[in-house]
Amino acid sequence: MSDPKKLYIKTYGCQMNVYDSERMVEALGGQGYVETKSPDEADMILLNTCHIREKAAEKVYSELGRFKGLKAEKPDLKIGVAGCVAQAEGAEIIKRQPMVDLVVGPQSYHRLPQMEEVVQTGAKALDTDFPEEDKFEHLKARPKAKRGPTAFLTVQEGCDKFCAFCVVPYTRGAEVSRPSDRILAEAQDLVERGVREITLLGQNVNAYHGHDGGLAGLIWALAEIDGLDRIRFTTSHPNDMDDALIEAHGTCEKLMPYLHLPVQSGSDAILKAMNRKHTRDDYFRLMDKIKGARPDLLLSGDFIVGFPGETDADFEDTLDLVRQVGYGQAYSFKYSARPGTPAAERATVEAHVADARLQELQALLTQQQRATQDSMVGRQVKILFEKTGRDPGQLIGKSEYLHAVYANADPANLGQIKSARIVRSMTNSLEAVLD
C-alpha cells in the first residue's frame, strides 16, 4: 500500500473560509491526501484566499513567491489557489505565476478531485464558475472522526445587498440558502462526533430562507438536537434582523447571547453612499428591540472609516453611534478600494486623515471592550472548554458571550461545559475559578 499524499492548506479570512478549507481537505481525502501542517512535506499546497482586505491579490502572489524554491526542489509538487481571490483573478493567477497548477473558486471546490486528476497529468486546471448544482450535495459525507467541541456550519452563501465597498457579491455570487434538512443532518453528524457548539455561517446569514421559518426556524429546529448545547450565527445584516430572530434571542436557551451585527458607519450620508439601505435611526430602533429581548446580549460590530466622501461630521456621527450603542467587541478598518466595486471609482479621503480617525475609533472601541470585560468580574458564566493552556492544569474555553476564559481545571473537562466565576479581566481574555 502506497503512502498517502500530503496536503498543506493555508486559510485566509473569515470563518466561512475555515469551513471551506475543512471541506476541501475532506474532498481531497478521496484522492488519497492527508493534511499536513508543513508545506515542506506537502505533495499539494492549497491557498484558500480572502479578497476583503487591502491588496489581497498582491499578498497572495507574494505568498506564492515563497514557494518557488520548494517547487524547484520538488517538481511534482502541485500548487493551487482557492477562494475569493481565485474567483476574482481567475486565469490571471496562472499567467502571473505559471508554477500554479490549479485555480478554483469558492463555489466550485467540490470539483477538486477531478481537478486534481487533471493536474497530475501535467495540465493546468481552472474552475471559477458559479455552478447550478449544490456543491455541498456533491461533497462526500464528512468522515466520522472525533471532533473538537465547536464547529462551523455554512448555511448560506453569497449576498444580494451590493454594498458599494464590498466584493462579496462578485466573488461569492447571489444569496443561496442550503435546505434545512441537509443542515440538520450535518449538525446531527457533528454532534455525534463530539461537537457541542455550532456557529452557523453565511455572508448574510440572517437572510437564510432554507427553512419555512427563516433563520429563526432553523435555530429552533437545531435546538431539538440532543447534545447540541450552543448555537451561534454570523455575519448578519441589520435589514434582515426580523422579529422572529430577535424573539429567538430572548426565548431559545441554546442561542447564545452574542450578536455580530455590522453597521459600518454612524452617518446617514455615508450609509447612503455605502448603499446600506438603512439609517442610523433604523439601527438604533433595532438595538432597542434586540436588547429588549435579551438585555445581557453582547454586541459586536464592523466599522469602516475614511470611506470616500466621509467628512469630520460624518466621522463624529460614527463615534456618537458607538457611544450610544456600546459594543463588547468590534472590528474597525480603514477603507481600501476593491477593484470592480462602485466605491472604487470615488475620490478617497487623505490617508493621514483616515489613519487618525481609525486610531480614535479603535481607542473608543477598545475602551468599551475593556469595560465590558471588566464588568464580567464576579459574574457566573458557563465555559465550554476547548483546549489546554500553556500552563499545566490550565484549560481554555469560551463563555456564553464568546469571551476567551482561562481556568485551572482537570483535563477531563475538555469538551465539557462548566459553571465558573470570573475573577480577573485581562487584555483579551478572562480568568475564572470553577464552582
* 133: pLDDT strictly greater than 60: no
Considering only CA atoms, give the Rg of the chain: 22
| 235 neighbors 205 (Cβ within 8 angstroms) | yes
Total count of residues recorded for the chain? 435
Provide CB contacts within 8 A for 87, sequence distance 6+. Answer: 51, 105, 106, 107, 128, 170, 171, 172
Count other C-beta atoms under 10 Å from residue 41's C-beta.
10
Q: What is the pLDDT of residue 304?
A: 97
> Tell me, what DSSP letter sits at residue 342?
G
**Per-residue pLDDT tens digits for 309-355:** 999 999 999 999 999 999 999 999 999 888 889 999 999 999 999 99
C-alpha grid cell, residue 52: 476583503
**Per-residue pLDDT tens digits for 41-78:** 999 999 998 876 667 778 888 889 889 899 999 999 99
pLDDT above 70 as % of the chain: 95
Q: What is the pLDDT of residue 136?
A: 61
DSSP one-letter string for 89-141: HTHHHHHH-TT--EEE-TT-GGGHHHHHHHHHTT--EEE----SS-HHHHSPP
Q: Which amino acid is at 178?
A: R
* Burial bucket for residue 49 (CB in 10 Å: 0-12, 13-18, 19+): buried
SS3 string, 211-249, reads CCCHHHHHHHHHCCCCCCCEEEEECCCHHHCCHHHHHHH
If phi > 0 it is left, if psi is from -120 to 50 it is alpha, else beta; for residue 136 that is alpha
Tell me the whole-structure pTM to 2 decimals: 0.80
Q: What is the pLDDT of residue 283?
A: 98
**Per-residue pLDDT tens digits for 393-430:** 999 999 999 999 999 999 999 999 999 999 999 999 99
What domains, with CATH codes, occur in the chain?
A: 5-127 (3.40.50.12160), 144-256 (3.30.750.210), 380-434 (2.40.50)
Rounded CA gap, 384 and 150, in Å?
Answer: 9
Read off φ and ψ for residue 2, nearest 5 degrees: -75, 155
40 falls in which pLDDT band (50, 70, 90)? very high
| 179 neighbors 218 (Cβ within 8 angstroms) | no
Rounded CA gap, 175 and 163, in Å?
Answer: 14
Q: Percentage helix, strand, coil, to 5, in the chain?
A: 40, 25, 40
